[in-house]
Amino acid sequence: MYVKLLLETGHHVPIFIWMYFLCLSIYTCKSLYVIFILISMVDYIFMGPMMKYLAYSNSLGSIRPILYQYAYHLEVLPPHMNGMPSGHAEVMWLLTTLVWLSLGKDSFETLFIGFLALFVSLQRILTQMHDVPQVLVGGCVGGFMGMCWYILLYLINVA
């Protein structure tokens, strides 16, 4: 029972991270945490669905494991069943990369968010919301996006 409850909390980790960064921003008076929130929200709301659409429209989409039983007879995968790439893994690894590059590898925030990114990635697989390739692609896309955002922040002297 407790394991299932723990696994279900993984769905809400991005929201928890946003609240954590908001509290850090207020407590430390650093706007960088608000920038982290905004960047990850843009990724979660716009980039994640766009990546799913691109994967689906280029025949790279793959069904979520939890939906196998409902779609085994379908010749064409409906868009709402596409799980490639994992949006949760994408946003968590984007944040991990961005925080690591901005604050350094030894900061508590980097270690904390890195641990949560591993937890969310594993949670997505164990709850059968995604399979391993979907989570790996989401993590790689998120890491790449985190580097791109860091470069942009560095060029405008925010990071």
pLDDT, tens digit (0-9, with 9 covering 90-100), for 45-102: 998 888 888 887 887 777 777 777 776 676 666 666 777 888 899 999 999 999 999 9
Instruction: Answer whether 63's CB lies under 8 Å from 82's CB.
Output: yes
pLDDT of 99: 95
Say which residue the tokens 């925010």 belong to.
Answer: 158
Domains in the chain: boundaries: 2-155
Length of the chain equals: 159
Instruction: Answer whether 63's CB lies under 8 Å from 51's CB.
Output: no
Sequence-separated contacts (24+) of 55-62 with Cβ below 8 Å = 55/82, 55/84, 55/85, 56/82, 56/84, 60/84, 62/131, 62/133, 62/134
pLDDT, tens digit (0-9, with 9 covering 90-100), for 118-145: 999 999 998 888 899 999 999 999 999 9
pLDDT band at 11 (very low <50, low <70, confident <90, very high): confident
Instruction: Answer whether 128's CB lies under 8 Å from 136's CB.
Output: no
pLDDT band at 35 (very low <50, low <70, confident <90, very high): very high
Is residue 152's pLDDT more than 80? yes
Six-digit token string for 52 = 């799913």
Query: By three-state DSSP, how is residue 84 classified?
Result: coil
Six-digit token string for 19 = 């609240």
